Structure 1
Amino acid sequence: MGPWTKTHIGDRAVDFWNLKAGQGTVKFAGFLSEAEGAVFSGFESLQQHIDYGARGEDQIAMNEMLDVRAWNIGEDIWMVDYTTSLNSPLENGILLDAYRYGGGIGFRATETWHKDNCTVLTSDGKTRIDADGSYARWCLVEGESDVEEGRSGILFMSHPSNRMHPEPMRVWPIDSNGGRGDMYFEFVPIRHDDWKLDPKKTYTLKYRMIIFDGKLDAETAEKYWNSFASVPKAELK
């Protein structure tokens, strides 16, 4: 889950990320299921976005169900599917305001990654210099590591069924954090446009990550994304 920082319930602003504001929070409500086996391991969990500003008692503004599954698909390569489903029990739903952070999937890299030893490449050929605010099917984030190959990384993929696909991104500027250029990446479905969640309707976002040691090129990244995006069709004969 990425941070839902700017939202509105009616005409009232609610920030579920910055706790100092005292407007809301996110509560872990429990595991719905857990799986562990030879093929994959994973879990389903429920998170509740709590609105502190409601009249009377605090209220649940959004329910979020996370479905996370992980596979080891080769030597030093792991695949993780991350699916988030949102719904609002509120009578009039909730508005997720357009903002540079919000929802999707986010990644704050290790403190050892900075502008001189980590890179970004998107499906549209954008790099760390110009990826922020642009749209992509996938984004490849790599950096220096202590493995034998000297580098490790994550390929983030957005599913075609997601809102605003190809999906807009937040990538920290190369001079962020006092010029260090620390690395942060996020797929942000509300980067450029508000998103209204109507009451009692479920909205789903699907992502896949390929986590690897070494390097990954654009051609291989595109093959991984095509595999993720393609839905096998069953034919009756």
Structure 2
Amino acid sequence: MKPTLLLAAFLTVPAFAADIQVEKQGSVLHFTTGGKAICDYQMEAGDVPEGVAPVFKHGAHLHPVYSPSGKLVTGNHPEDHRWHRGIWLAWTKTEFGDSHPDFWNQGKGDGKNKSGDQILAEVRFDKLEKSWGGADVGGFISQHLYLDHSHSPDQKVLNETWNVEVSQKDLDGKPANIIDLTSTQTCATDKALKLPTYHYGGLGVRGNQAWNPVDSVTMLTSEGHDRKSGDSTKGKWVHIGGQVDGAPTGMVILIHPSNFRFPQPLRLNPKNPQLCIAPSQDGDWSIEPGKPYISKYRILVFDGAPDPKWIDAQWQNYAK
């Protein structure tokens, strides 16, 4: 073999990476490439759809999120759970001093359409530190507040920083939109946030409304479980998907091995296209003053059916 050919044989052709543009419009950051949407970050609480109670206004989440071909993969304000919001982080069953703020079910109550009279606890966008676009990656750094409204004045419970990077790349022959999300939560007071055993709360994902019928959504975990067998199991990754405009598409959430209680417990909702990575399933724990709680996830959005071998390879790359 000639030296030039020998050298070429050992060269690795870099994966394609797209230019990422970011535009701020009001309280939304839009991430696009080549004029095609990748995802939005909703900062302050956005408007609710017609007919939805204003108590369900919410922000501090990602929605809409799209595949490389432009297919929508997330849902927001669904009829069965108006408080579900694209991709978000929140705790459900908690203890904070003498109160029990529920940051997940924002606006939920016993009234008509499950709406309450007021928000008793919430995750609220606080400020945008910075945002950027670039030749290979865009992103933002922002601050959220976990607020308990059951006391007067409102009580700050947690401060949270989101560090998010957005890109589009060819990964081993498959185009993917990539969202790297790192959440850092710290106590806002000298009191811990106690998190009793519970089956959900943590990273939440709501799928496209088209997947709402029970038989229209598919889920798959790193351990080979489907939607029915995978609930309350653990995994390194979890996929949710279904048909959009007549073709399969979806997203997989890769769980970083540094995360608390990795491989992390999973809640795969049996009634709607929603899942949660829920560390509280494994027993009581708490977020303590002076000890930041850091969680890292990589969300790959792609067209086509899930290939477990391809996903495993992407998880290995992320884990390293």
**TM range, smaller chain:** 0.7 to 0.9
TM-score of the superposition, structure 1-length normalised? 0.86
Equivalent of 1:170, from 251, 260, 267?
267
> Which residue type is aligned with residue 135 of structure 1?
K
- Cα RMSD between the aligned structures? 1.7
* Structure 1: segments with no counterpart, 5+ residues: 177-181, 231-237
Q: What is the aligned length?
A: 219
Shift of 1:118: 2.5
Map of 1:107 onto structure 2:
205
Q: Distance in 2 between matches of 1:172 and 1:151?
A: 20
Residues 1:197 and 2:257 aligned together: no
The unaligned stretches of length 5 or more in structure 2 are 1-87, 108-115
Displacement of 1:194: 2.2
Select the residue among 87, 100, 108 that pairs with 2:186.
Answer: 87
Q: Under a length normalisation based on structure 2, what TM-score does the superposition of the two structures give?
A: 0.65
How far, CA to CA, are the matches of 1:106 and 1:36 in structure 2? 26
Structure 1 residues 65-90: Cα deviation after superposition (integer angstroms, max 9, x where no partner): 11111111036411110111100022
Distance in 2, matches of 1:208 and 1:22, equals: 30
Letter in 1 for 2:193: I
Residues 23-102 of structure 1 aligned to structure 2 (within 5 Å) = 23-54=120-151, 56-74=152-170, 76-102=175-201
Larger helix proportion, structure 1 or 2? Answer: 2
Q: C-alpha displacement at 1:107, in angstroms?
A: 1.2
More divergent stretch after superposition (214-223 vs 192-201): 192-201
Aligned to 2:307: 217
Say which is worse superposed, 19-28 or 3-12, in terms of deviation.
19-28
**1:119 has 2:218 as partner:** yes
Contact in 2 for aligned 1:3/1:101 (Cα 8 Å): no
Q: Which has the larger radius of gyration?
A: 2
| 1:3 aligned to which of 73, 82, 90 | 90
TM superposition shift of 1:27 = 1.6
- Assess, with a 3 A threshold, how the Cα gap between structure 1 residues 45 and 139 changes in structure 2: closer, same or farther: same
Question: In structure 1, how many angstroms separate the alpha carbons of the residues matched to 2:123 and 2:306?
Answer: 35
- Aligned partner of 1:179 in structure 2 is none
Over the matched positions of the two proteins, sequence identity in percent amounts to: 31
CA contact (8 A) 1:2 1:101 kept: no
Q: Partner amino acid for 2:200?
A: Y
Tell me by how many angstroms 1:25 deviates.
1.8
Letter aligned with residue 84 of structure 1? S
Which position in structure 1 is the counterpart of 2:104?
A: 17
Query: Which one-letter code corresponds to 1:205 in the other structure?
Result: S
- Which letter does structure 2 place at the counterpart of 1:129? K
Q: Does the 8 A contact of 2:104 with 2:201 survive in 1? A: no
- The structural deviation recorded for 1:203 is 1.1
Note the C-alpha offset of 1:216. Answer: 2.6
Q: Is the Cα–Cα contact under 8 Å of residues 9 and 93 in structure 1 kept in the other structure?
A: yes
Distance in 2, matches of 1:212 and 1:17, equals 27
Is 1:131 aligned with 2:234? no
Do the aligned partners of 1:2 and 1:186 also contact (CA within 8 Å) in 2? no
Report the 3-state secondary structure (helix = DSSP H, G, I; strand = E; otherwise coil) of the residue aligned with 1:191: helix
